[in-house]
Structure 1
Amino acid sequence: MMHPHTELRYIDEKMGYGVFATRLIPKGTLTWALDDLDQILEPEVVYALDADRKKQVLKYSYRNQLGQFILCWDIGRYVNHSFHANCIGTAYEVEIAVRDIRPDEQLTDDYGSLNVDVPFDCLPEPGTDRKRVMPDDLLLYADIWDAQALDAFGRYEQVEQPLAHLVRPEFAGKIAHAAREGVLLDSIRAIHLDRRFMKAAT
Structure 2
Amino acid sequence: MIHPHTKLQFISAEKGYGVVATHFIPKGTITWAFDPLDQVFTPEKVRQLAPFFQKIVNTYSYRDNKGDFILCWDHSRFVNHSFHSNCISTAYNFEIAVRDIYPGEELTDDYGYLNATEPFECLPEPGTTRTKVMPDDLLHFHREWDAQIKDAFTYFNQVAQPLGELIEEQYQEKVKEIAAGLTDPDSILNCYYQPSKVALAV
Give the TM-score band, short-chain normalised.
over 0.9
Which amino acid counterpart does residue 132 of structure 1 have in structure 2? K
Distance in 1 between residues matched to 2:130 and 2:183, nearest whole Å: 29
Distance in 1 between residues matched to 2:99 and 2:91, nearest whole Å: 19
For residues 41-120 of structure 1, the aligned pairs below 5 Å read 41-120=41-120
Aligned length: 198
Which amino acid counterpart does residue 159 of structure 1 have in structure 2? V
Identity, % of aligned pairs? 54
Maintained 8 Å contact 1:150/1:182: no
Distance in 2 between residues matched to 1:168 and 1:94, nearest whole Å: 9
Partner of 1:83: helix, strand, or coil?
coil
Partner of 1:8: helix, strand, or coil?
strand
Distance in 2 between residues matched to 1:169 and 1:161, nearest whole Å: 16
Maintained 8 Å contact 1:150/1:183: no
Distance in 1 between residues matched to 2:6 and 2:185, nearest whole Å: 29
Partner of 1:143: helix, strand, or coil?
helix
Deviation of 1:185 after TM superposition, in Å, equals 4.0
TM-score normalized by the length of structure 2: 0.95
RMSD, aligned α-carbons: 1.2
Partner of 2:9: helix, strand, or coil?
strand
Deviation of 1:184 after TM superposition, in Å, equals 2.4
Which amino acid counterpart does residue 148 of structure 2 have in structure 1? Q
Q: Deviations over 1:175-201 (max 9, x none)?
A: 11221126324111111111225xxxx
Maintained 8 Å contact 1:154/1:182: no
Distance 1:182 1:9, change over 3 A: farther
- Alignment correspondent of 1:40: 40
Runs of 5+ in structure 1 lacking a partner? 198-202
- Alignment correspondent of 1:155: 155
Maintained 8 Å contact 2:85/2:108: yes
Q: Deviations over 1:112-146 (max 9, x none)?
A: 00000101110010011111100010111111111
Partner of 1:181: helix, strand, or coil?
coil
Which amino acid counterpart does residue 35 of structure 1 have in structure 2? D
Which amino acid counterpart does residue 168 of structure 2 have in structure 1? R
Partner of 1:130: helix, strand, or coil?
coil
Partner of 2:180: helix, strand, or coil?
helix
Residue 117 of structure 2 corresponds to residue 130 of structure 1: no
- Alignment correspondent of 1:200: none
Distance 1:6 1:93, change over 3 A: same
Runs of 5+ in structure 2 lacking a partner? 198-202
- Alignment correspondent of 1:165: 165
